[in-house]
Structure 1
């Protein structure tokens, strides 16, 4: 299958630069994954599409203020470091700009020496392993020095850093937000609970590998970067119970979907407590075993995320829905509108 099969035209003005004041005010494109039928709604109406006994699965990862601005200790040259993944101890896999000037042994300083980093290794994809040195608690220092790692297509300054966090964010570790979850408020989640919808949480720490462009023509040759995931015994038990009682499992975001599919594929379609690293790559031809429906944002052309949703609803249905979204001026990407890919049996 060719990467160009997942291309579409996206006018640049449709890329959302700032979040709406009300998280739930985003538009919602509802897509029947079997028939391709489309409905235009608003996100606060999502409750109407759930039945009692269904289960909403949210990713409770918390985004790190992972972008650091510092200098090379020897020359004073400015550098930018993006934390991707914690390795052992105080060593992190990072992306560095300008990377070519940061070689093994280079010492970096941040915040007038409050944080120092030594480049220990250069990686094949242009990244660097940096070992940090500091006094105190690393995450407190990071909170004081770091900035939210907004995607490069967002040019506007984010005034409220919490708007790039979900309201249920809990476990630190992501280099990017699970953006489908940004549409929810505590009030909306409570309305779902009142309707008898179960709310479950998993954790997947989002790495930039999820958004890495597909650089090969044949998508089967693309390799995903691994990301850490975790499911508790309580969540696994709830999901199995929902399945046994005929409820639908609705993943919020591609990160939740990838976690659920990773575990379900290892457990014969069931769920159990698990943690580890997943590099699952979902594209058309894949048979979903963990989820029935998906709430997601609109993704970049030719991205692995467009391929993932195409595996759930069919490439033709997805490209038709995206064409509808462009024609009707939906807002795209992280701060944009949402899509609910649902089963026809749901309301």
Structure 2
């Protein structure tokens, strides 16, 4: 099989008319269409009937990251507007949660809309909130090749940065929706189980789940557990390279409790199904971190390792899931860690063999995207049949659209 480095993104294209992109969600989340692909065959349903299509005692893995209001609009004294889009924390912070809990001021990597209009003077934003007023100030600290380092400070030292964003920021809707965020998006662009602040895009496969659906899954003894992967703006990064070895995959923060890793181990050999590409990327990354632990123990005792783009293809391929996850949990225990917080850059593309998951629940993704490569890694060339079927049957595409259940093999 061709190495993923040699794949051409042009082979993963299809025509997506704008009218097929869902601009708003359905009123009832679980009434979205569900395309089921199993054993080479397609069937159709709705999310509210998902329990019918999942094997009993399956384990669903959800991403409980929470979308933050990452867009801050500042108005200059001259009336011009500057938009600061908070991408991820400065490298001085150990992880996103630590950065989100900073009080008084914080350093953040940001995109700046209207940067040429912003000279060196600080920007200020005044917000009236309940019983107190908040003044937020933004200073340019450094310009990088792909972002600015911005110092954001505020006059109420009791408020965390997460609270500041909730008070003053706007939800960062995907650019392909081509509309401004509305008040309703604060609720609809968030899963019902979102817990940890840090994402600038929702793990959209989870948007279809309701308490009623969870009850039906419970009744069928379908388990669930949670990982945290904070989705970065890189998830929308287009692939512009001719082949994938010239494309730099975006890096994202993952945060997994040792109990989750032990749960994955104990659940073998019953099915594990990822809800969303971010959940899949996280649990597959846990396997490869375990491979690192079992092969390079002497090199990594002092710090938590991270995964680079091609590790899943360059590391040994013969380590069992049990051996990898056991090595990972043993390393965490020896270092007295209950949570594993690190970064992953792995790319899942055709040629990749799933190590942890047996299936994926996901939305329909953009043409020529790394997310579509991930789909093709699971179903092979059948992705074309699946997407053509969805287009012909008027499925709604992308973040607020319908979705599918894809079973391996």
Taking structure 2 as the reference length, the TM-score comes to: 0.79
Q: Give aligned pairs, total.
A: 336
Give the SS at the match of 2:207: helix
Please state how far the C-alpha of 1:25 moved relative to its aligned partner.
0.4
Aligned residue in 1 for 2:209: 184
Aligned residue in 2 for 1:232: 257
1:276-311 Cα deviation digits (max 9, x unpaired) = 011111111111112110000000000000001111
Residue 328 of structure 1 pairs with residue 343 of structure 2: no
Residue 13 of structure 1 pairs with residue 19 of structure 2: yes
Partners in 1 of 2:121 and 2:53 — Cα distance?
55
**Which stretches in structure 2 are left out of the alignment for 5+ residues?**
1-6, 94-101, 128-133, 292-320, 330-338
Q: Which moved more, 1:198-207 or 1:110-119?
A: 110-119
Residue 99 of structure 1 pairs with residue 115 of structure 2: yes
Decide whether the 8 Å contact of 1:61 with 1:203 is kept in 2.
yes
Partners in 2 of 1:304 and 1:297 — Cα distance?
14
**Which stretches in structure 1 are left out of the alignment for 5+ residues?**
none
Aligned residue in 2 for 1:248: 271
Aligned residue in 2 for 1:120: 141
Q: Which moved more, 1:53-62 or 1:232-241?
A: 232-241
Taking structure 1 as the reference length, the TM-score comes to: 0.92
Give the SS at the match of 1:153: helix
Instruction: Identify which of 281, 290, 297 aligns with 1:258.
Output: 281
Aligned residue in 2 for 1:111: 126
Aligned residue in 1 for 2:32: 26
Decide whether the 8 Å contact of 1:70 with 1:111 is kept in 2.
no
Larger Rg: 2
1:119-159 Cα deviation digits (max 9, x unpaired) = 1111212x211111112213222212111100112234534
Residue 145 of structure 1 pairs with residue 148 of structure 2: no
1:26-48 Cα deviation digits (max 9, x unpaired) = 0011112xx43111111111111
Q: Which moved more, 1:266-275 or 1:317-326?
A: 266-275
**Per the alignment, do residues 277 and 106 of structure 1 end up closer, same or farther by CA in structure 2, a change over 3 Å counting?**
farther
Residue 71 of structure 1 pairs with residue 75 of structure 2: yes
Decide whether the 8 Å contact of 1:166 with 1:184 is kept in 2.
yes
Instruction: Identify which of 349, 356, 371 aligns with 1:290.
Output: 356
**Per the alignment, do residues 297 and 162 of structure 1 end up closer, same or farther by CA in structure 2, a change over 3 Å counting?**
same
Decide whether the 8 Å contact of 1:263 with 1:274 is kept in 2.
no
Partners in 1 of 2:239 and 2:352 — Cα distance?
18
Decide whether the 8 Å contact of 2:378 with 2:408 is kept in 1.
no
Residue 58 of structure 1 pairs with residue 62 of structure 2: yes
1:78-123 Cα deviation digits (max 9, x unpaired) = 11111111224601111110233346x4422223671111111112
Decide whether the 8 Å contact of 2:110 with 2:149 is kept in 1.
yes
Partners in 1 of 2:110 and 2:37 — Cα distance?
38
Decide whether the 8 Å contact of 1:201 with 1:235 is kept in 2.
yes
Give the SS at the match of 1:267: helix
Partners in 1 of 2:405 and 2:276 — Cα distance?
10
Partners in 2 of 1:102 and 1:202 — Cα distance?
39
Please state how far the C-alpha of 1:198 moved relative to its aligned partner.
1.1
Please state how far the C-alpha of 1:76 moved relative to its aligned partner.
4.4
Instruction: Identify which of 189, 195, 206 aligns with 2:231.
Output: 206
Q: Which moved more, 1:21-30 or 1:188-197?
A: 188-197
